[in-house]
């Protein structure tokens, strides 16, 4: 991490990274439990699971770009975190609300004034 990265950027980075890394295995375990339950998973469940894993991996890659101070990566992470709200309105669940809420707190840290100065500095 660059030495000039302010504390809010570091805190936001770690909050988002821990949240995404915690969700990934739970998503995989949930899908495996559906496979082992004896019912055939629908193609939409398979598609949603695959898309979720790919988006989480993309967000993790973007987070490392955010840590380096790339503005567009910060915007992309913000958009993806806000987009996590859409499935919650369609299929509400407590775990989804908790992880999305924690992720949004991490995004707020990336947009605090000290963080904003880090992303808009001259290079």
Q: How far is CA 93 from CA 9, 13, 16, 96, 100, in A?
A: 29, 25, 20, 5, 11
Predicted pLDDT at 37: 72
CA dihedral 71→102→4→65, nearest 10 degrees, is -40
24 pLDDT above the threshold of 60: yes
Predicted pLDDT at 116: 86
33 pLDDT above the threshold of 90: no
The structural domains of the chain, with segments of one domain joined by +, span: 7-119
Q: Token pair for residue 98?
A: 């908790």
Summarize pLDDT for 84-113 with one digit per residue, the tens. Answer: 888 888 877 888 888 889 999 999 999 999
pTM: 0.83
21 pLDDT above the threshold of 60: yes
């Amino acid at each position: 991490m660059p030495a000039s990265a302010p504390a809010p950027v570091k805190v936001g980075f770690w909050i988002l990274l821990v949240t995404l890394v915690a969700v990934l295995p739970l998503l995989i375990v949930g899908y495996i439990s559906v496979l082992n339950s004896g019912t055939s998973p629908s193609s939409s469940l398979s598609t949603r699971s695959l898309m979720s894993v790919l988006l989480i991996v993309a967000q993790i890659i973007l987070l490392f770009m955010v840590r380096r101070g790339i503005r567009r990566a910060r915007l992309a992470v913000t958009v993806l975190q806000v987009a996590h709200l859409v499935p919650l309105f369609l299929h509400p669940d407590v775990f989804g609300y908790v992880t999305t809420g924690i992720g949004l707190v991490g995004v707020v840290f990336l947009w605090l004034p000290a963080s904003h100065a880090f992303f808009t500095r001259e290079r």
